[in-house]
Amino acid sequence: MTNPKLISSFRLSSLLRLQKDPKLALQLFQNPNPNTSQTPPVKPFRYSHLNYDLIITKLGRAKMFDEMRQILHQLKQDTRISPEEIIFCNVIGFYGRARLCEHALLVFDEMPSFRVQRTVKSFNSLLSAILKCRRFDKMREVFARMEEDGSADSCSYNILIHGCVVNGKLKEAWSVFGAMLRRGLKADEVTFGTLIYGLCLELRLKQASKLKDDMVRVYKVRPNENVYASLIKGYCDVGELSLAFRLKEEMVRNEMEVDTAVYSTFISALFKAGRKADAFGVLEEMRENGCKMNIVTYNAMINGFCNERDFEAAFKVLDEIGENGCKADVISYNVILGGLCKEGKLSEANDLLEDMPRRGCAPDVVSYRILFDGLCDGMQFKAAASILDEMIFKGHVPRTASVHKFINGLCQVGDMECLWTVLSTLTRGNVIDYETWRMIVSTVCKENELSNASELNKILIIP
């Protein structure tokens, strides 16, 4: 009987690419030739660099970090292989997306033990990972190491500038920008786009517009779509729609693509300004230019109709989303829930919350909080108690201020039966605080109701 042909490392790479299930891919990697029984025994499988790269990537994307670390340990022991830096850049990136900053730092520090020379690529991967983890103190520390050995490049500075902007430290971002120029590094559209985005966040629109002009005049860098999108959103946020439209026209003249996000910004701003007809005009222009509506556009329209109290139109848009091959998200429903509660249409809001799972969208903590607050504001305490019970059962936590308002309302109307039910629910969910206890005890003592004190004592000793 002839032995089956052994799988080569080249063939293993092809099989790993085809295997979608990371667990099965791992089994294949660990035992590529399971059905061989040769005498003398088959030599250990000789993995290639590509084999390791493929399996590490699959495990990292699947967040199977324990298994990924095992493969990395095997790679370290496999002295025939000289790993490429890109493998570790990817691993650091996986840890960054999973908010595992310390793991990313550890991999970076261990790279020399894998016979890998660290360059600015792995430094930048680490900076990006730390940024995703929002560890700005560590980011500065790592960047300082790069500056000391002179390895920081334009990308490094861009990442640090982004970190400063995200952290709300725009002044520090400008300082980093100045240091970048002093180093003789060239600022690009990413650099300016990030700084302009930061200025627009703080509504410093004159400075943002000036920087856009300086990009071309002083730095010879052409503004890209992101620069225009930030400025347009900024002007829309402050109601300067004429300036925002002027920027859109400039984009068209410069043969730039006006994308769905920009159109959605205009639609939202026009509804907010009470210019519904103009919003529909923008929507028509969007369709004529072949720009497909996405969920952001639909949600902007839903929000606009809800602000106008036109819930029939809002529900019509909600139905159209599915018909046009898109899918409503929880934000779509929460916007309508908020609008209905604001108008006191609590029964309709409750019906919508119950209908969400049937429509293929499970309510989230925001959904429950919106309805709970609305019912409390409408003095519908029994219905609010029911929603509170369902919310806590599903692992969601109400806002502390909302609970205090609810308890205070129950105490004022003297609905002790509902109060005990709510107190039991809060205790069961372990979401009761000192202030809530104080309010209840104060009410019990004020009323001097011994039976109520007895009920309170029972709840207090619940294990």
Interval 143-178: pLDDT, tens: 998 888 778 999 999 999 999 999 999 999 999 999
Q: Give CA–CA dist 179/143, Å, rounded.
A: 12
Q: Are 136 and 143 in contact (CB under 8 A)?
A: no
pLDDT number for residue 1: 46
Q: Which of 450, 449, 420, 445 is nearest to 432 (CA)?
A: 420
- What residue spans define the domains of the chain? 390-463
Give 415's DSSP letter.
-
Q: Give CA–CA dist 90/376, Å, rounded.
A: 49
Q: Are 124 and 156 in contact (CB under 8 A)?
A: yes
pLDDT number for residue 456: 52
Q: Which of 234, 281, 224, 209 is nearest to 258 (CA)?
A: 224
pLDDT at position 75 over 60: yes
Residues 6+ apart with CB under 8 A from 322: 328
Q: Following DSSP, what letter does each residue of 255-275 receive, concatenated?
A: T----HHHHHHHHHHHHHTT-
Q: Which of 15-24, 37-46, 125-134 is predicted with the least confidence, judged by mean pLDDT? A: 37-46
pLDDT at position 42 over 80: no
pLDDT number for residue 38: 54
Query: When comparing pLDDT for 174 and 39, which is higher?
Result: 174
pLDDT at position 37 over 60: no
Residues 6+ apart with CB under 8 A from 308: 271, 276
pLDDT at position 461 over 50: no
pLDDT at position 189 over 80: yes
pTM above 0.85, yes or no: no
pLDDT number for residue 431: 76
Q: Following DSSP, what letter does each residue of 209-252 receive, concatenated?
A: HHHHHHHHHTT-----HHHHHHHHHHHHHTT-HHHHHHHHHHHH
Q: Give CA–CA dist 420/458, Å, rounded.
A: 10
Half-sphere exposure at residue 268, Cβ-oriented, CA atoms within 13 angstroms:
21
Angle, CA 209 vertex, CA 208 and CA 215 arms, to 5°: 90
Q: 449: which 2 tokens?
A: 């109701």
pLDDT at position 40 over 80: no
Burial class of residue 63 (count of CB atoms within 10 Å of its CB; 0-12, 13-18, 19+): middle
Q: Give CA–CA dist 445/441, Å, rounded.
A: 6
Q: Tens digits of per-residue pLDDT, 192-207? A: 999 999 999 999 999 9
> Hey, is 359 helix, strand or coil?
coil
**What value does the mean pLDDT take over residues 401-424?**
82
Q: Which residues of 279-314 are buried (b: 16+ CB within 10 A; e: fewer)?
A: beebbeebeeeebebbbbbbbbbbbbbbbeeebebb
pLDDT at position 439 over 90: no
Q: Give CA–CA dist 455/448, Å, rounded.
A: 13
Type of residue at 361? C
Q: Give CA–CA dist 189/453, Å, rounded.
A: 68
Q: Which of 34-48, 91-105, 228-242, 376-390 is predicted with the least confidence, judged by mean pLDDT? A: 34-48
Q: How many residues are there in the chain?
A: 463
Residues 6+ apart with CB under 8 A from 58: 16, 19, 22, 25, 26
Q: Which of 15-29, 273-287, 417-431 is predicted with the least confidence, judged by mean pLDDT? A: 417-431
Determine what percent of the chain is predicted with pLDDT higher than 90: 71
Q: Cis link prior to 83 (omega < 30° from 0)?
A: no
